[in-house]
Amino acid sequence: MPQSHDNVRAMRWREDTLELLDQRLLPAEERWNRYRDAPAVAQAIHDMVVRGAPAIGITAAYAVVLSSLQHEGDLAAILADMDRLAAARPTAVNLFWALERMRPLVEAGATAERLLVEARAIHEEDIAANRRMGELGAALIEGGEVLTHCNTGSLATGGYGTALGVIRSAWAAGRIEAVHADETRPWLQGSRLTAWELVHDGIPVTLNCEGAAAALMRAGRVSWVIVGSDRIAANGDVANKIGTYALAVLARHHGVRFMVVAPASTIDMGTESGNDIPIEQRDPDEVLSLAGRRVAAEGAQAWNPAFDVTPAELVDAIVTERGVVERPDSAAMRALMSGS
């Protein structure tokens, strides 16, 4: 993959400080915010300074290092910070996965230096997994145009991306002709972040509002819908950014294939089905307003779930670094996670 197609990063560790690229300000401004304590990082996760399940998990791992540096062996204080981090976003299972990976080290009294080694390992492993998923997912695509939703690239991960990593790999291999990106209301991650990433890395992108997806498919313009996930249940049901379920229904109606790309850490075998996945409800003002200015009529109310659940039967392939599951169900997911 040419370096020009992988230049974006969402977080970096410098001189005992975590720096996060403030994604709320993109694409107008590229501002790096600096954090020295875990509660501030937890607030940043909640406030969408950083977002995307893998990126949230990596950020939380680095925040545990900050907590260790601040509290110098005070186990109770560090564990309290970890609880604050876990409460920041309830749907993204990678957040809990990363914290649980750090927990045995914390409880064993590991130094901040040792915790930093583990956080960096989580970060580096995510990038390697994304590149592997990019290869596996791209191999499924035989040409045409693709549609993606929300942001699943370097900004949402440690680097390279999940669904956008597949798109990067497929573009480099000449397997796709064009990329379409949904704008993704209410935070506009598609228009602000995905479009910015692809333009930044030299991959042409066409933006469309969600309401245009059906017409795009009906016109025969899309061969694959490629999305990420914040949590995948044991039966293959997929929780992802609100609007994903609608795309899956449209794709099935129009004969368009539907691919979910996510690391194995996103798969929650302890959650039986999508019905058991907690769906984060966010501030109605995110829907009632745009860029800080109210656009809805005064007195109107809003329903603002951050995610929806796509049933496994609407998914053609789940791509992980461990392999590809086509037509996912409980048996296939167990086989993937057990390595059989």
User: Are 103 and 197 found together in one domain?
Assistant: no
Provide the pLDDT confidence category of residue 8 given band limits of 50, 70 and 90.
confident
What single-letter DSSP state applies at residue 87?
T
Half-sphere exposure of 81 (CA within 13 A, CB side): 27
Q: What is the CATH number of the domain that holds 25?
A: 1.20.120.420
Those residues whose C-beta lies under 8 Å from the C-beta of residue 238, and which sit 6 or more positions away, are: 229, 231, 232, 244, 260, 274, 309, 310, 312, 315, 318
User: Are 217 and 88 found together in one domain?
Assistant: no
Tens of pLDDT, residues 194-248: 999 999 888 999 999 999 999 999 999 999 999 999 999 999 999 999 999 999 9
What single-letter DSSP state applies at residue 193?
I
Among 79, 97, 128, the domain-final residue is: 128
Among this protein's residues, is 230 annotated catalytic? yes
Tens of pLDDT, residues 21-46: 999 999 999 999 999 999 999 999 99
Q: 328 is written with which tokens? A: 């996912």
Indicate the pairing of strand 178-182 with strand 145-148: parallel
How confident is the model at residue 2, as a pLDDT?
45
How confident is the model at residue 1, as a pLDDT?
43
Tens of pLDDT, residues 245-255: 999 999 999 99
Is residue 7 predicted with pLDDT exceeding 60?
A: yes
Among 93, 128, 163, the domain-final residue is: 128
User: Are 110 and 137 found together in one domain?
Assistant: no
Total tally of structural domains belonging to the chain:
2
Tens of pLDDT, residues 148-173: 999 999 999 999 999 999 999 999 99
First to last CA, the chain: 30
Q: How far, CA to CA in Å, does 96 sit from each of 17, 90, 265, 296?
A: 22, 9, 10, 36
Dist. CA 32–CA 24, nearest whole Å: 11
User: Are 169 and 210 found together in one domain?
Assistant: yes
DSSP string, 122-191: HHHHHHHHHHHHHHHHHTT--SSEEEE-S--SGGGSSSS-SHHHHHHHHHHTT--SEEEEE--TTTTHII
How confident is the model at residue 40, as a pLDDT?
98
Set 230, 268, 308, 316: catalytic member: 230
Neighbours of 60 (CB within 10 A): 32
User: Are 56 and 71 found together in one domain?
Assistant: yes
User: Are 166 and 117 found together in one domain?
Assistant: no
User: Are 84 and 13 found together in one domain?
Assistant: yes
How confident is the model at residue 3, as a pLDDT?
47
Those residues whose C-beta lies under 8 Å from the C-beta of residue 76, and which sit 6 or more positions away, are: none
Q: By the 8 A CB rule, do 278 and 306 touch?
A: no
Q: 137 is written with which tokens? A: 């997912």
Is residue 257 predicted with pLDDT exceeding 80?
A: yes
Among 102, 128, 154, the domain-final residue is: 128
User: Are 208 and 255 found together in one domain?
Assistant: yes
DSSP string, 194-216: IHHHHHHTT---EEE-GGGHHHH
User: Are 181 and 257 found together in one domain?
Assistant: yes
Is residue 184 predicted with pLDDT exceeding 70?
A: yes
User: Are 72 and 173 found together in one domain?
Assistant: no
Neighbours of 289 (CB within 10 A): 15
User: Are 159 and 284 found together in one domain?
Assistant: yes
Mean pLDDT of 171-176: 95
C-alpha R_g of the chain:
19
Dist. CA 56–CA 62, nearest whole Å: 10
What single-letter DSSP state applies at residue 297?
P
Range of the domain at 18: 3-128
User: Are 96 and 217 found together in one domain?
Assistant: no
Q: What is the CATH number of the domain that holds 222?
A: 3.40.50.10470
How confident is the model at residue 272, as a pLDDT?
98
Tens of pLDDT, residues 109-137: 999 999 999 999 999 999 999 999 999 99
